[in-house]
Amino acid sequence: TKSLKEAVAEVVPEKQEQLKKLKAEHADAPLGEITVSHLLGGMRGLKVMLWEGSVLDSESGITFHGKSIPDCQKVLPNADQIGGKGKEILPESMLWLLLTGKVPTPEEVKGLSQELAAKGKLPDYIEKIIDSLPKTLHPMTQFATAVAALNHDSKFAQGYSQGLKKADYWKPTLDDSIDLIAKLPAIAARIYYNVFGLGDGKQAIDSSKDLIANYSEMIGYGDNEGMIDYLRLYIAIHGDHEGGNVSAHTAHLVGSALSDPYLSYSAALLGLAGPLHGLANQEVLGWALAMQEAVGGGEASEEKIKEYLWSTLKSGRVVPGYGHAVLRQPDPRFTALSEFCKTRPELRDSSIVQLVQKVSQVAPGVLKEHGKTKNPFPNVDAASGCVLYQYGLTQFTYYTVIFGISRALGALPQLVMDRALGMPIERPKSMSMDSLKAFIKK
Ligand code: AMX
C-alpha cells in the first residue's frame, strides 16, 4: 500500500517525460485561430491552458482522467469499502484519482483518510481570525479569509524563501495542498457555527472516520446517513470541471506567480463566490422556493411552471441553474444528483426536490423558445441545493462553502502538476480597442 505522496512521486517523472515529448514533437502545431470575438467574448473555446485532472466535452460532459461520473461510481472506493457506511464516491478516492490518474485501493484511500484526519485540526490563530469576523460577513468571504491566512505556515512559501530548487517545488506544494484539503471541513464548520449557531462549535476529528463523515458530524449531521452520503457524492463530483472555469483558472493563474496553495485557493474561492459561478446554487434555491410559494411544490402544473419561468426571463434575470459556458447537454453532475434523489425515500417524497425535477423537464423548452442561451439544459446547481434544503440545511448563503470544500480536490492537484512540470507565470497579451484596430489594419 502506497501513500499518496509516493503515488504522486511515481507519476511526476512520467508526466515530465510526456511534456518533454509534446514540446519536442508538436511545439508548433496550431490549435485554432484567435479572432476578435474571442477577445471580446470571454475567450470561449480557446485552447490555451494545460489541465490534467479532467476534460469537459460539450456533449458528454466531464471525465476525470478519462472516467465518467458513472465509471467513477463503479470503481472508486466508497465508505463501505473502508470500514465506514455509505455507497457513494469518497472525496478521498476522487482526490487520489485526480492527483495520480490511478484508481486507489480501499487501503490507500483509508490511509489517505487517516492522513487527512491527522492534519485536520485548525491552529488557534485561524480559529481566532474566524471568530473575529462579523456574522453578517458572507460565509464565502469568511472562508477565503481563513484559507488565505493559513499561508502563515506554508511549506512552499518557506521553502521558496530558503532557496528551494525548482525541480522540488511540487513537493511542498503537495504538502500544503493536502494540509489545506484536510483543514477545509473544520474551517467551513466553524463558519457554520459562528454564523448560524449550528453544529457543536468544536470541530473535533475522529481519526477512524472519513473526511466527510467528520465534516457531517461537525455541522450536526453525524447521524444522518443520507446527508453524509449525499455530501460525499456532491463533493466528489464537484471537485473538478477542467481548467477554464473561474475558480479552477484562478487557482492556476495565482499559483503561476508562485503564490503558495493557500493564497492560490483563497483567490479561487473568491471567484467561486460569484453568482454566475458557484453562488448559483444559492441563487437557485432562493428562486425555487419563491417559485414553490407562487405555483406550489411537486404538484405544480406545467403551465404554472412555464408562466413562472417566463416571468423570471421577462424581468431580465437569468434562470439560475440553467445554461453553461461549455456544456450543450444536461450536466451529468445534475443527472448523478437526480439519480441519488431516486434512491432515498426522504428525497423522492420531497416537494421541493419534486418541483426542481419538474422544472428541469419544462425549462429547456422555455429557454429554447426564449432563444438566448446556447444551452437550455440544467447544470449541476439546478439540483444540488434542494437536497441540502430537504435535509434541513436551509441556510443557503452557506451552500457555496460546501462547493468550496469540493473544488480544492481538482484545483490543488493541478497546482502540484503545474509546479512538477515547471509551468511558467501566466501572462496573456491584452489589447486596447485602438491597438486592436491598428493591428487589424496592418
Ligand atoms: N437564463 C436566461 N438567459 C441565459 C441563461 C439562463 N439560464 N443562460 C444564458 N443566458 C443568456 C446569457 O445571459 C446571454 O445573454 P446576453 O447575450 O443578453 O448577455 C446569452 O444567453 C448567451 O449566453 P451563453 O453563451 O449561452 O452563456 P455564457 O457562456 O455566456 O454563460 C452561464 C454561461 C452559466 C454564466 C449562463 O448560462 C448563466 O448565467 N446561467 C445561469 C447562472 C448559473 O446557473 N450559473 C452556474 C453555472 C455552473 C457553475 O459554474 N456552477
- Domain ranges, ordered by start, for the chain: 280-390
- The string of DSSP codes covering 67-102 is B-HHHHHHHS-BGGGGTS---SBPHHHHHHHHHHSS
Protein residue closest via CA to atom 19 of ligand 1? 372
Does residue 56 sit in helix, strand or coil?
A: strand
What is the four-CA torsion angle of 329, 44, 270, 154, rounded to 10 degrees? 110
Q: Are 338 and 383 in contact (CB under 8 A)?
A: yes
Q: Are 126 and 150 in contact (CB under 8 A)?
A: yes
Protein residue closest via CA to atom 48 of ligand 1? 277
Q: What is the pLDDT along the chain (442 residues), one digit of tens a residue?
A: 899 999 999 999 999 999 999 999 999 999 999 999 999 999 999 999 999 999 999 999 999 999 999 999 999 999 999 999 999 999 999 999 999 999 999 999 999 999 999 999 999 999 999 999 999 999 999 999 999 999 999 999 999 999 999 999 999 999 999 999 999 999 999 999 999 999 989 999 999 999 999 999 999 999 999 999 999 999 999 999 999 999 999 999 999 999 999 999 999 999 999 999 999 888 899 999 999 999 998 899 999 999 999 999 999 999 999 999 999 999 999 999 999 999 999 999 999 999 999 999 999 999 999 999 999 999 999 999 999 999 999 998 999 999 999 999 999 999 999 999 999 999 999 999 999 999 999 8
Q: Does domain 280-390 have CATH number 1.10.230.10?
A: yes
Please report how the helices 381-390 and 399-420 are oriented relative to each other, as an axis angle in degrees rounded to 10: 130
pTM for this predicted structure: 0.95
Catalytic residues: 277, 324, 381
Cell numbers linked to 175: 504538502
Residues having CB within 6 Å of any atom of ligand 1: 245, 276-278, 280, 313, 318-325, 372-375, 379, 381
Q: How far is the CA of 353 from the centre of ligand 1 (A)?
A: 23
